[in-house]
Structure 1
Amino acid sequence: MTATSPAETSPTAASENPAILDVRGLWKVFGPRAADVPGSPLAELSRAELKERTGCVAAVRDASFSVRRGEVFVVMGLSGSGKSTLVRCLTRLVEPTAGEIVLDGTDIRRAADKQLRDLRRHRFAMVFQHFGLLPHRRVLDNIAYGLEIQGVKKAPRYSRATEMLDLVGLTGYADSYPDQLSGGMQQRVGLARALAGDPEVLFFDEPFSALDPLIRRDMQNEVIRLHREVGKTMVFITHDLGEALRLGDRILVMRDGALVQTGTPDEVVGAPADDYVREFVRDVSRSHVLTLRWIMRPPEAGDALDGPELGPDVVIKEAVPTVLRADRPVRVVADGELLGVVGAAEVLEVIAE
């Protein structure tokens, strides 16, 4: 059995959180007369053809997507796919060539310099791959730095910085200097500094790619914990599929500056949009990502319908003990409605793949 899209039983858009960030028709073209490319026949050329004909490189091509309030939205792609340029366009660290970026009603592209500075200080923050800590300042001073730039008085900014220090698990390191910390601890300082200003949206540009695997996993766990505790909207850039699947509520896959697919982790793994995405997810253990929605079937004549009950969003791996112990099909139920059933055959087929 091949898993197919469970669109008919997925939550409706009406039940989802509203968008806090809307990106519409975003382009970033580097090169001579870059503004001539969007909306012209040149926009239809491949990246290589555009470069050969005009000398321009389209790093981001006609990107449109929304980020929901409170979600972790992951942008994933190989090196050169345009993901880092995209996130820099969202904060206007790189000026987009065309398109709209609307943050909760505010068009970031139309913001004048003063308004843009205010947006960066109060409404969004960025965590970079390279920590950007001030080496001559203590950890607590580094965390408080953004609040200092905002003009917050000393007592409240250090009180807030101490709260963030504790939140990211660095209690006791307030008086340390960056060079006295490990890479993972330095990244926690950068995260605390970003959180200190209480931004609406946190942007992460491959923040853990320079860390060794064990520390990287610890930092992924830290992001998951912090998101659970503070509920911030996060836009996370990575080239690592495992990281994307662990962190993302939804994943956007990019290739050559264009958007290839946007979906939940199980949608990306279970229904790849094309061969590029299919190759990306080829080695993923489907039982660790797909949910019961993907393998449930309609009840058949003779099925006993008094077996154990599980929700449709339970990951297959987590459902295995219940399914294999049951002597009758497991009922997949949401809001009191029977959506389908799952038996040992359905589970074992996915595991065997």
Structure 2
Amino acid sequence: MRERATEGGTPGVAPRGETALVTGASGFLGGYVVRDLRAHGYDVIASGRNAAALPAGQTLVGDLDELARVDLGRTVDVIVHCAALSSPWGRWAEFEHANVTGTARALEFARRAGARRLVHISSPGIYAAPRDRIGIREGDVDPRHPMNGYIRSKLEAEALLQRAAAEGSAPEIVILRPRGIIGHGDPSLVPRILRVRERFGIPLMRGGRTLVDLTAVENVALAVRLAAEAPGVHGQAFNITNGDPRPFRSVLEQLLEGLGLEPRYRRVPTAVAYRVAALLEAVSGVLPGHPEPPVTRYTVTTIAHSQTLDISRARDLLGYRPETSLDQSLASYTRA
């Protein structure tokens, strides 16, 4: 891993003049986190594999295996671990290395750098189940039957951090579970929907009335900064959303209208959608390279069932108040 120092960032005064290192800074969320922290006075080191995509400023170019061996020769106060392999489909070995071993590597670096806190970006996918779930709280996790390798890896990464926190062998740990991150530059959520619309038509179950609970990327960056600074939250996990659940069809059509696209739906009974997704997964599992199927059971779950998160803990303990509305976030994507 090589360090690259350049000019950039927004001047300011962080709490106690702190330094933060952000993993996955060349990604969608990581880039927003770097910019937000710098705008609020942190001396930020942006860490990631893609040098060209890293925000301007001081950077570390390399993967998490390399990060674990880096010695900057100075204290890094806060580690924000955004780096992850996020996909509804993939090989377990890849998810394990990126998300479980990768988290262990970030923790190793945090220990050696003398960090006071590690903020870990997890996933509310760990709540996924083939039924409606309204007002999910942070303790409502059943780790016994994860729906895919990604969810399993995020569960294991959280467990790894919680063990370290319980043993007292780690910096302070704070876990965030942001739901459905959206905004300008989104490389995943909306593009997947648009690809499905173009190729097959978007599966519409239960009339599209199921509730989706999205989060503007700017609000996730805000939550990260609050999680880095709030006292008395060691070992806690926090749900993060915009607190504005809406019907799936309503959000989708607002997005498509902004993009100048007509909706293309396939009205499918939920049970049929699950069977088709299972069949497609089975076929993809035996094809060379195991390509991602057009629809997975996890994707069906997110469309066919309402899932909303209770964010009262983040409001009460972090002081989290969404600042960017869902309408603003959707508009920012359509202007991209």
TM-score tier after normalising by the smaller chain length: under 0.3
Q: What TM-score results when the alignment is normalised by the length of structure 2?
A: 0.26
**Higher share in strand:** 1
Larger radius of gyration: 1
Q: What TM-score results when the alignment is normalised by the length of structure 1?
A: 0.25
